[in-house]
């Protein structure tokens, strides 16, 4: 599966890529040189809207977007790298990119809001930033968005 590193201006795209299960690093601040060496070292494809960066000579692979529309960016990427076959929505932490793990409700019950505890039984959590995920309203909105990106 191709791995990505998004430049500082593509935070929204990075979040959605993680949501779809694609390995994507993102930093709010990173120097272009660091971005390039990280991409080369970890064999990641740089995602950017920065034409100057795109035109620099380097060993790193790079994908340049003309559009600022996140949905269109996603569709372009999926098409360019055949990402549909790696599609694994909600398998990765959208905050830190770590693959999520299934967790028993009883182990996290004391951390859940009352309503969530009442209505949900399936939970995943991020072993790095310790966030708990469940399939609530937020999940449904995200799912609708993903369906509009990848029509089934």
Stretch that binds Zn ion, among 40-48, 55-63, 83-91, 121-129 (CB under 5 A): 121-129
Q: Is 19 in the site for Zn ion (CB under 5 A)?
A: no
What are the strands of the beta sheet with 24-26, ordered from one edge? 24-26, 3-6, 44-48, 61-64
Binding residue for Zn ion, selected from 8, 96, 132, 146, defined by CB under 5 A = 96
Number of residues that bind Zn ion (CB under 5 A): 7
Look at residues 118, 112, 39, 49 and name the one whose alpha carbon lies nearest to residue 77.
Answer: 49
Q: Is 127 in the site for Zn ion (CB under 5 A)?
A: no
Q: Is 88 in the site for Zn ion (CB under 5 A)?
A: no
Sign of torsion, CA 101 104 106 112?
positive
Question: Measured from the CB of residue 131, what is the shortest distance to Zn ion in angstroms?
Answer: 5
* Dist CA 128 CA 95 (whole Å): 10
Query: Coil, strand or helix: which one is 114?
Result: helix
Q: Is 93 in the site for Zn ion (CB under 5 A)?
A: yes
Residues of the shown chain interacting with Zn ion in the complex, contacts defined by CB under 5 A? 93, 95-96, 98, 126, 128-129
């Amino acid at each position: 599966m191709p791995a990505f590193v998004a430049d500082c201006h593509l935070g929204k795209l990075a979040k959605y890529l993680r949501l779809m299960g694609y390995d994507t690093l993102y930093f709010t601040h990173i120097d272009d040189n660091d971005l390039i060496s990280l991409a080369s070292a970890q064999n990641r494809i740089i995602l950017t809207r920065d034409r100057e960066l795109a035109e620099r000579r380097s060993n790193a692979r790079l994908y340049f977007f003309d559009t600022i529309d996140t949905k269109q960016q996603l569709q372009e990427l999926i098409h360019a790298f055949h990402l549909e076959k790696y599609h694994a929505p909600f398998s990765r932490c959208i905050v830190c990119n770590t693959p999520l793990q299934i967790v028993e409700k009883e182990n996290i019950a004391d951390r859940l809001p009352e309503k969530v505890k009442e209505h949900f039984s399936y939970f995943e959590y991020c072993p790095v930033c310790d966030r708990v995920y469940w399939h609530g309203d937020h999940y449904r909105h995200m799912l609708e968005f993903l369906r509009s990106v990848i029509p089934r």
